[in-house]
Structure 1
Amino acid sequence: MTAARARAHVVTRSIDGPHPAVGSPADRVHEPHGTITRARCMRRRRPAPMDDTLRAVRAGAAEPAGPACATGVLRPDMVPFGAPDGDVYGRAADAVRAADFLSVVGTSPRVEPAAAVCATAVDRGAASAIVDTEAASYDDFASDVPRGDVEPVVPRVVAAPEAGGPPVG
C-alpha cells in the first residue's frame, strides 16, 4: 500500500454505511449527509447506534434514550439536503484541505453539501479527478475528467501517479 492510500479519506453522500462495511477506517470516512446506521438525540445531539435504538423499540421501550440522550427523542442521524452537519462537514473539509489529490466519484459534485468539497480542493490547488457519466459544475477545475461507469474507471484513476499509485500503462 502506498503512503497516499494509507492516508486516504472518504467523503461520501452515502447514508447507508457502505464504506465502513467494506473496511474503510471509520475515522477516515466523512458522511456530511449523515447516516442511517446511527440515531441522534434531538436535545444533546449525541449519537447512538441505530441497531441499539431499534432493538429497544422492538422490546417495547417508549423512549429508548439510553446514555446518549436526555429526552428520549431520537431520530435517524441524517442531514437534509443543503443543511450540512457542521462537525462532520468540518472534518471532511479539513481532510480535503490536507489532500494532494481528490477523486470525486459519481454524482457527488452535483449535490450539496458533499459538492462543496470540490470547491475546497480547488481553493487549495489540489489535483483532482471527477469520475461520472455526466458533466458537473466542477469539471473545468479538475485535473482529469474521465467519463464512464465508475466501476471500470475508478481503478485507473486511483492507480494514476497523481493519486500516489503506480503509473498507468
Structure 2
Amino acid sequence: MNRPLIALLSGAGISTDSGMPDYRGPNGLWRRDPEAEKLVTYDYYMSDPEIRRRSWQLRRESETLRARPNAAHEAVAALERSGAPVRVLTQNVDGLHQLAGMPERKVLELHGTARSVVCTGCGARGPMADALARVEAGETDPPCLACGGILKSATVMFGEHLDPEIIGAAAAIAEACQVFVAVGTTLQVHPAAGLAGLAADHGARLIIVNAEATPYDDRADEIVREPIGTALPALLARLSG
C-alpha cells in the first residue's frame, strides 16, 4: 500500500524555537518595528546606500547563520528518513530544514535563502558567510566581486517577484498531496498561502498548526494551537503510523 504524500508548508513560527524572529505574529518584527520593512524592500534597498549599510549590519547581527534546527525541523526530517513521501514548501529563508537533514531536492524555498547572496547586476551568487566576512573587515556595502554591482541576500524582498518555476512546482505538490500541513504560518502572504486552499480543493486533508487563527481555518480538517515544538513531532508521529 502506498503511503500518502505529505506536503508541509512552513512559516516563521516553526523556527522561533531556534531563535529566529516571527514577523507577523503578536510580537512579530513587522508589528514591533514597521520601519524595518524598508531594509528588505527592493526599491528602498536599491536606491538608498544607507538602507543597504543598515541591511548589511542587520545581516551581520542576525542569528540566521548561527541558528540550529529545533525539534520541529528534526521531526520533519525524521519522517522523511522513515520512508514517508514528504515535501517541504517553506516560506522561511533560514535553511534549517536542510540542516536538520531534509534532502535539498525535497525542499522548495519559496522566498529564497539568506545563506547566499546574489548580484542584482550580473546574477552571480556566493555564500552569505563570505560577504559577511567582508563586512566584518570593514566594507559597509560590499559590491559584487565579478562586476561591481549591488549585492543582496538571495531572498525575495518586498517588491520582487517569486520564482515562477518554484511556485509552479509547489502548486503541483499541493495538488498531488493527500495531506497538507501548514505549520507556523499565518497563511496571509500569497501566493504561498493559497497553496493550502489549492490542496484542499484537490481533496487533501488540511491540517493547520499555528498559534493564531488563519484565513483557512474554516477549510481545515484539523487545527492545532499547541506549541509547535511539541505539537508538530506528535502530529507527524501520528501521520507516520
Percent sequence identity over aligned pairs: 33
Q: CA deviation at 1:39?
A: 1.3
Structure scoring higher RCO (CA < 8 A, sep ≥ 6) equals: 2
TM-score (norm 2): 0.56
1:144 to 2:222 alignment: yes
Q: State how far apart, in whole Å, the 2-side matches of 1:81 and 1:125 are.
A: 32
- Which range moved further: 131-140 or 47-56? 47-56
The residue identity in structure 2 corresponding to 1:159 is A
1:125 to 2:203 alignment: yes
Specify the SS of the correspondent of 2:222: coil
Gaps (5+ residues) in structure 2? 6-79
Match of 1:64 in 2: 144
Q: CA deviation at 1:130?
A: 0.2
Distance 1:45 1:95, change over 3 A: farther
Q: CA deviation at 1:17?
A: 1.4
Q: CA deviation at 1:105?
A: 0.6
Match of 2:151 in 1: 74
Structure 1 vs Structure 2 CA RMSD: 2.8
Q: State how far apart, in whole Å, the 2-side matches of 1:99 and 1:47 are.
A: 33
Specify the SS of the correspondent of 1:148: coil
Q: State how far apart, in whole Å, the 1-side matches of 2:164 and 2:123 are.
A: 12
Distance 1:50 1:115, change over 3 A: same
The residue identity in structure 2 corresponding to 1:64 is C
Match of 1:12 in 2: 90
Q: State how far apart, in whole Å, the 1-side matches of 2:118 and 2:201 are.
A: 33
1:132-152 CA-to-partner distances (Å, cap 9, x unmatched) read 122111111122112221122
The residue identity in structure 2 corresponding to 1:154 is L
Q: State how far apart, in whole Å, the 1-side matches of 2:177 and 2:214 are.
A: 21
Q: CA deviation at 1:125?
A: 1.6
Q: CA deviation at 1:112?
A: 2.9
Specify the SS of the correspondent of 2:91: coil
Q: State how far apart, in whole Å, the 2-side matches of 1:90 and 1:65 are.
A: 32
Gaps (5+ residues) in structure 1? none
CA contact (8 A) 1:100 1:127 kept: yes
Distance 1:23 1:84, change over 3 A: same
1:19-168 equivalences under 5 Å are 19-45=97-123, 47-55=125-133, 63-66=143-146, 72-81=149-158, 83-160=161-238, 163=239, 165-166=240-241
The residue identity in structure 1 corresponding to 2:187 is P
Specify the SS of the correspondent of 1:110: coil
Distance 1:108 1:33, change over 3 A: farther
Q: CA deviation at 1:37?
A: 0.6
Distance 1:16 1:147, change over 3 A: same
Distance 1:43 1:64, change over 3 A: closer
- Residues matched between the structures, number: 159
TM-score (norm 1): 0.76
Q: State how far apart, in whole Å, the 2-side matches of 1:98 and 1:47 are.
A: 32
Distance 1:71 1:97, change over 3 A: farther
